[in-house]
Amino acid sequence: MDKKLLDNIRKTITEQKLDAVLITNIYKILHILGINASFNFFEVGFYLLITPKEIHLIGDPFSLSLVKTPKGVKKEEENLKELRETAMRPIKLLKGLLKKLKIKKIGSFDDIEIPDYKVVTIDDPFLSLFLFPDEHRLTLLKENAEICKEVLKETLNKIKIGCSEITIRNIIDENIYKSGGERRAFPTKVIFGENTANPFSISNYNRLEDGDPLHINFGLIRKGIGIEVGRTYTIGTDRKELKELFRKSNSIYKRFLDFITPGKIVKEIHNYVWNLIEENNYAENFIGPISTPLSPLIDGVIISPKNTAILKPGICLSVQLGFHFPGKYGVRFQDVVVVHEKTEILTNFFNNRGFDVTSYQV
């Protein structure tokens, strides 16, 4: 259990005159309880209620059976009848527990409502822990990046003209587990040809043809920590327009990565990239955002035109860049970086990012 974090939360309870703090994010719950496990949002459902003297883990019987809790944590199990009436969320059990413990004022890191109770939004101490990985967390991130590298290498060796998107997607998913990953971070995407023109495409039975662009995007979770990568390649006969797109987009992406340094205002980074996009006449084909929270988290720094936060050394970001031409083709790249004086790209492998996929095959 993260006792330092627990003490800080209880200090907040005292300072803000709260009766308890309610945590609803499963990754934050797993972290503070010291449960070294990887789940996605659909596998488990927990609430964690922290009072000045007690800790209650509230959930369904299926979720609770998957975790071993530290000493002193009370498991509160909702029955199936009540769960069926509340979309499989232990709402009734939570409200019953709040009433039993005579709790009236609750702190939450998220903007939530609980009828008949006063909920106060409080500062989230998990954000700095997740955004600024300590030595242990950074080591795990780098280990996970190496697993990603192995998965991608094995996948590239299987790509041939005539293969289907679903076939390659399934190879990636299987290799995630074979190589040491514990879960997918999100649904794996493999798309070929004209499907790359649509940023919202999903893998289907489309076959890879000579000269096609092909896009791969996947992530994995191991020990509760995620990593992700996105690459676009071509195969076979060079297409002049694609070659030019790869050349320009690679240049923009490299300059974007080089520009991410400590001390910059986030919106300055967005504006810099946007100017590069306009200079290359890709404004009508740009699909944002250019950064997302690192999977499986939902909170983090978004590089946007209105974000006035200042980048601090050590922050971890998932950055991406994509251009899509309806009815034709598209390219998209994604990497995980740690911001230093010279930004460290944790997923900086197979980084030509725009040449024939066969040049990577061994």
Helix axes 135-156, 165-178, angle to 10 degrees: 140
Quick one: tokens of 281?
A: 């006449």
pLDDT of residue 288: 80
Q: Which of 141, 183, 184, 175 is nearest to 156 (CA)?
A: 175
Q: 113 pLDDT band (50/70/90 cuts)?
A: confident
| Strand-strand pairing, 183-184 and 118-121 | unpaired
Q: Which of 239, 250, 228, 222 is nearest to 332 (CA)?
A: 250
pLDDT of residue 360: 61
Q: Is 164 exposed, middle or buried (0-12, 13-18, 19+ CB in 10 A)?
A: middle
Beta-carbon neighbour count of residue 303 at 10 Å?
Answer: 25
100-125 as b/e: b if 16+ CB within 10 A:
eeebeebbbbeeeeeeebebeebebb
Alpha-carbon gap, residue 201 to 188, rounded angstroms: 11
pLDDT of residue 362: 52
189-201 as b/e: b if 16+ CB within 10 A:
bbbbbbbbbeeeb
Identify the weakest region by mean pLDDT among 3-12, 138-147, 294-303, 320-329: 294-303
Q: Look at the block and give the residue holding tokens 């190879």.
A: 171
Q: 224 pLDDT band (50/70/90 cuts)?
A: confident
When pLDDT is averaged across residues 250-261 and rounded to a whole number, the result is: 93
Rounded to 5 degrees, what angle do the CA atoms 155, 157, 159 make?
75
Q: 355 pLDDT band (50/70/90 cuts)?
A: low
Asked whether the predicted pLDDT for residue 354 surpasses 80, the reply is no
Alpha-carbon gap, residue 46 to 64, rounded angstroms: 8
pTM of the model: 0.84
Confirm if 170 and 249 have CB atoms less than 8 A apart. no
Domains, the chain, ordered by start: 3-123 (3.40.350.10), 130-345 (3.90.230.10)
Alpha-carbon gap, residue 30 to 258, rounded angstroms: 35
